[in-house]
């Protein structure tokens, strides 16, 4: 208790300052979303804890895999092989269709179709706010994860990245109450926006009139509008359509196509669009033709606009180091 007379400002003063600071932080975070640097820095402190929490679960999976019998492995292998064959047959068809599509698009001189790059990421098993639909992933800005990046699983769209740390990132699932995703009905081409409901297995399509052509069982795919999500990925299946008299809009519910609850691994998607490639320099560095294309893009950028200087510089530095 030697510090009795030399403590700093009183508790009251500190409390007032900190409360004001908290309110300011909340406002800034909500209105301008400009606190990502602080989040990213603090997530460094938390990552070891998250990793430690996740470790026993990973160990369990590891043990489960290591001690599975040869018989089980063989069976699994056979199953995978069969599925692989099946998929390849389907892919052949798709390949031809894709080529044809590309040719037709060229004939129309339309925008070239975008391609995607994928990276597998594991979900870190830690709990977040129970009233939000968030997950923590074990890839961060060191793997070029960026804010707003879409994540998918084998079945469909899962959500998007909302916070990025150096080693981990937080993703919001499409069912979060504050999430919305532009979709299209596969059967009719009707565009709509699917809002998250806060429940794990439900999306809502709001503001669609009674007369709309939609029925249970319809597949919703991403429309690609808004630019966050790549087009033509399955999102959900319509589960309920009601047209209550007296309500201005139809009541439409959909069930997410992706396995939001069960997936242990998710895929991060990068879109290799012509305008976006300058950011993904490293990704394509292995592919010579690609990187050439990117370099010319960069030169154009820096020539046209001095504002892009900053963006280009880190890439160049990285290039030099290599």
Chain residues in the site for other proteins (CB under 8 A): 1, 3-4, 7, 11-12, 14-15, 18-19, 21-26, 28-30, 35, 38-39, 42-43, 45-46, 49-50, 52-53, 57, 125-132, 134, 136, 162-163, 170, 172, 176-178, 198
Closer residue to other proteins, CB minimum distance, 134 or 237: 134
Return the number of the residue (9 or 227) whose C-beta is nearest other proteins: 9
Distance CA 20, CA 156 (A): 43
Q: Which is nearer to other proteins, 42 or 85 (CB)?
A: 42
CB of 160 to other proteins, least distance (A): 13
Report, in Å, the least distance between residue 130 CB and other proteins.
4
Q: How far is the CB of 176 from other proteins (least distance, A)?
A: 8
Which segments of the chain does DSSP mark as H helices, in order?
A: 11-31, 36-66, 70-107, 288-304, 309-321
Token pair, residue 289, equals: 């033709």
Which region, left, alpha or beta, applies to residue 218 given φ > 0 means left and ψ of -120 to 50 means alpha? beta
- The rounded distance, in Å, linking the Cα atoms of 94 and 118 is 19
Are the C-beta atoms of 137 and 124 separated by less than 8 Å? yes
Using DSSP, state whether 146 is helix, strand or coil: coil
Residue with smaller CB distance to other proteins, 43 or 149: 43
Least Å distance between CB 314 and other proteins? 25
> In whole angstroms, how close is the CB of 275 to other proteins at the nearest point?
30
Residues 6+ apart with CB under 8 A from 63: none
CB of 168 to other proteins, least distance (A): 10
279: Cα separation from own chain's centroid: 17
Question: Measured between alpha carbons, how far is 50 from 48 in angstroms, rounded to an integer?
Answer: 5
Measured from the CB atom, is 44 or 115 closer to other proteins? 44
Tokens 């396995």 sit on residue: 259
- Rounded CA separation 302/311 (Å): 9
Q: Which is nearer to other proteins, 21 or 82 (CB)?
A: 21
Q: With respect to other proteins, which residue has the nearer C-beta, 52 or 68?
A: 52
| Nearest distance, CB of residue 177 and other proteins, angstroms | 4
Residue 245 in tokens:
């008299």
With helix as H, strand as E and coil as C, how does 195-234 read? EECCCCCCEEECCCCCCCCCCCCCEEEECCCCCCCCCCCE
């Amino acid at each position: 208790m030697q510090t009795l007379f030399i403590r700093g400002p009183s508790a009251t003063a500190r409390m007032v300052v900190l409360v004001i600071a908290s309110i300011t932080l909340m406002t800034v975070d909500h209105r301008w979303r400009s606190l990502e640097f602080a989040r990213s820095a603090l997530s460094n402190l938390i990552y070891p804890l998250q990793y430690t929490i996740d470790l026993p679960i990973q160990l369990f999976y590891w043990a489960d895999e290591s001690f599975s019998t040869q018989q089980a492995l063989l069976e699994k292998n056979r199953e995978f092989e069969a599925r692989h064959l099946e998929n390849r047959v389907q892919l052949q068809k798709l390949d031809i269709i894709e080529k044809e599509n590309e040719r037709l698009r060229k004939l129309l001189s339309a925008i070239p179709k975008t391609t995607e790059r994928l990276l597998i990421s594991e979900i870190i098993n830690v709990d977040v706010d129970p009233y939000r639909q968030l997950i923590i992933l074990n890839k961060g800005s060191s793997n070029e994860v960026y804010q707003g990046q879409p994540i998918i699983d084998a079945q469909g769209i899962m959500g998007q990245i909302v916070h990025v740390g150096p080693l981990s990132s937080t993703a919001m699932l499409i069912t979060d109450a504050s999430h919305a995703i532009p979709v299209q009905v596969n059967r009719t081409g009707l565009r709509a926006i699917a809002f998250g409901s806060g429940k794990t297995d439900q999306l809502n399509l709001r503001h669609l009139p009674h007369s709309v052509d939609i029925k249970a069982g319809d597949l919703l795919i991403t429309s690609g509008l808004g630019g966050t999500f790549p087009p033509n990925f399955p999102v959900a299946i319509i589960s309920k359509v009601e047209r209550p008299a007296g309500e201005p809009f139809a009541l439409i519910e959909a069930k997410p196509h992706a396995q939001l609850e069960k997936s242990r691994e998710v895929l991060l998607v990068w879109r290799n669009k012509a305008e976006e490639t300058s950011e993904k320099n490293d990704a394509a560095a292995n592919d010579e033709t690609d990187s050439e294309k990117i370099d010319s893009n960069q030169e154009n950028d820096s020539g046209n606009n001095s504002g892009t200087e900053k963006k280009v510089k880190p890439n160049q530095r990285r290039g030099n180091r290599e």
